[in-house]
Amino acid sequence: MEFPSIFWYTILWLIFWGAVGALVTPRVYAHKDKFTHQTAMLGAFVGAAFGPVGLVLLWWFTPPVTAKWLTLTGLVTLLWLSLAFAKADPDNLCVTSGSFIATQIANGLVIGSIYGLMALGLTLIFSILGIVSFAHGEFYMLGGMVTYYFTQVWFPDINPLLGVLVAALFTFALGAIFELLFLRPMITGQIERPGEYAILVTFGLAFFLQYTTLTLVGASPKKVPRFFDYPRITLPSETGNLLKVTPGNLTFFDTISIPSARFTAMMIALALLFALIYFLYRTWTGKALRAVSQDRQAAAVTGINPKRMNTLAFALGGMLAGISGAALVQVFSWVPWVGIPASSRSFVIIVLGGMGSLPGAFIGGLVLGVVEALGAGCVPDPNRAAAYLPAYGMIILVLVLLLKPTGLFGREL
């Protein structure tokens, strides 16, 4: 099926005027002696949203860049895209069925909360150690694998939450050991090029963990049944208009349907999120971690051991990824390389949210979850929709790096 060209022309139009806006606007602001900070981004958004007319007005008035303008123009751009999409493919479920969209978005948010949890781990590592762990997805993979072996092979009748706990402990320990053996030398000055070393050694760890797992457990997909069967509930009891729960599914308002395995996973993610917030803001160790992330030297002076905080941060980050994997092993089938796309997703999320920003990571996770769900549900050719799944996030990553490398909530570089 050929997709009508109107959609592509719209995209070209948006890109063209967006690029013109991004390239010219900073010069105009500079010429008028105004702050050029973020004007490239504003120019791109205005160009995409309102075309040449908007750009001329922008260059004429050169208003200060505010979040309000960015949000407004961003939304208008999205609106154009949706309209063009609706015009191009009027029979698409995404255009005709509101409940389908609602379900996709709800499921996107559910999965997104897990992505967010995982990215939270990566951003925690970045904010303390200043590195990006390229092996983050492998912790996620191992979390799922450990849960599978613990609850399905070794102790078949055990409470699955115990499996999650074991996965958490395992990935925590693994993270700590790796940090002590391979990352500690970076801060003690034994490594000549710490920045490059961190990239390569975590990359090596990813490779090592993937093939060790492959050798030990084989390539056949592992499947864990959903952790909990939900009781049958209907609200109100006669029609079930508000909520209908079956062992495998939840339906809200008769329209939004969420599989219960995913719902359980989201609950685990939310519980972890609150535990993490409590830990970081209410306990001494958590406060020490945040102190180190803001100013290493100052923290060291107040009696915090930054080296120990490094180990703790890397182990905690790995553990968050491990728990994410443990929570999702009941949703997806598990192979030794599930970590690769998971890593990529975490990269997208932390760049989108802003490197080192904790709220940014979680919100970025939700955004990516929704984008992927809509992409998978709305792209007309289902084969292609699935095949392009890894690309949606990557396109976000490229756009963010080019337009605003600090992300949504990032500190200035």
The whole-angstrom separation of Cα 113 and Cα 269 is 6
Residue 351 interacting with other proteins (CB under 8 A): yes
Q: Which stretch binds other proteins (CB under 8 A): 169-177, 230-238, 283-291, 385-393?
A: 385-393
| Token pair of 202 as six digits | 């975590």
Task: Report which residue type is found at 221.
Answer: P
> Among 197, 230, 279, 332, which residue sits at the site for other proteins (rule: CB under 8 A)?
197
Q: Which of 78, 153, 158, 391 lies at the binding interface for other proteins (CB under 8 A)?
A: 391
Report the nearest approach of other proteins to the CB of residue 64 (Å): 11
Q: Which stretch binds other proteins (CB under 8 A): 92-100, 244-252, 297-305, 397-405?
A: 397-405
Q: How far is the CB of 168 from other proteins (least distance, A)?
A: 24
Q: Which residue, 208, 240, 224, is CA-closest to 161?
A: 224
Give the nearest distance from C-beta 368 to other proteins in angstroms. 13
211 near other proteins, rule: CB under 8 A: yes
Stretch that binds other proteins, among 7-15, 31-39, 169-177, 266-274 (CB under 8 A): 31-39
> With binding defined as CB under 8 A, does residue 397 bind other proteins?
yes
Task: Indicate whether 388 belongs to the interface with other proteins (CB under 8 A).
Answer: yes
Binding-site size for other proteins (CB under 8 A) equals 50
- Main-chain phi, psi angles of 11, to 5 degrees: -60, -45
Bridge pairing between strands 233-235 and 243-246: antiparallel
Can you tell me the distance from the alpha carbon of 23 to that of 27, in angstroms, rounded to the nearest whole number? 8
* Member of 31, 223, 308, 384 binding other proteins (CB under 8 A): 384
Q: Does 387 bind other proteins (CB under 8 A)?
A: yes
* 274 lines the binding site for other proteins (CB under 8 A): no
Q: Which is nearer to other proteins, 244 or 404 (CB)?
A: 404
Q: Is 182 in the site for other proteins (CB under 8 A)?
A: yes
11 sits near other proteins (criterion: CB under 8 A): no
Whole-angstrom distance, CA of residue 249 vs CA of residue 336: 28
One residue of 11, 72, 165, 199 binding other proteins per CB under 8 A: 199
Query: Of the candidates 21, 9, 5, which has an alpha carbon nearest to the alpha carbon of residue 73?
Result: 21
Q: How many CB atoms lie within 10 A of CB 280?
A: 18
- What is the closest distance, in whole angstroms, from the C-beta atom of residue 407 to other proteins in the complex? 11
Helix (H, G, I), strand (E, B) or coil at 257: strand
**Cα distances (Å, whole numbers) of residue 159 to 27, 151, 227, 323, 399:** 62, 8, 8, 15, 43
395 binds other proteins (CB under 8 A): yes
Cβ atoms of 345 and 147 within 8 Å: the answer is: no
For residue 365, which of 377, 357, 353 has the smallest C-alpha distance? 353
Residues 180, 267, 340, 403: which binds other proteins (CB under 8 A)?
340
- Supply 12's token pair: 């070209």
Is 97 a residue that touches other proteins (CB under 8 A)?
A: no
Considering the rule CB under 8 A, would residue 185 count as an interface residue with other proteins? yes
ω into 231 cis (within 30 of 0): no
Q: Which residue, among 108, 105, 106, 114, has the nearest Cα to 267 in the 3D structure?
A: 114
Does 4 participate in binding other proteins (rule CB under 8 A)?
Answer: no
Among 9, 207, 274, 278, binds other proteins (CB under 8 A): 207
Q: Which is nearer to other proteins, 191 or 374 (CB)?
A: 191
Are the beta carbons of 138 and 339 closer than 8 angstroms?
yes
Give the span between the Cα atoms of 160 and 177, in whole angstroms.
26
The residues that bridge with 334 in the sheet, in sequence order, are 222
Residue ranges that bind other proteins, judged by CB under 8 A: 30, 33, 35, 37, 131-132, 134, 181-182, 185, 191-193, 195-197, 199-201, 203-212, 214-215, 340, 344, 347-348, 351, 355, 383-384, 387-388, 390-391, 394-395, 397-398, 401-402, 405
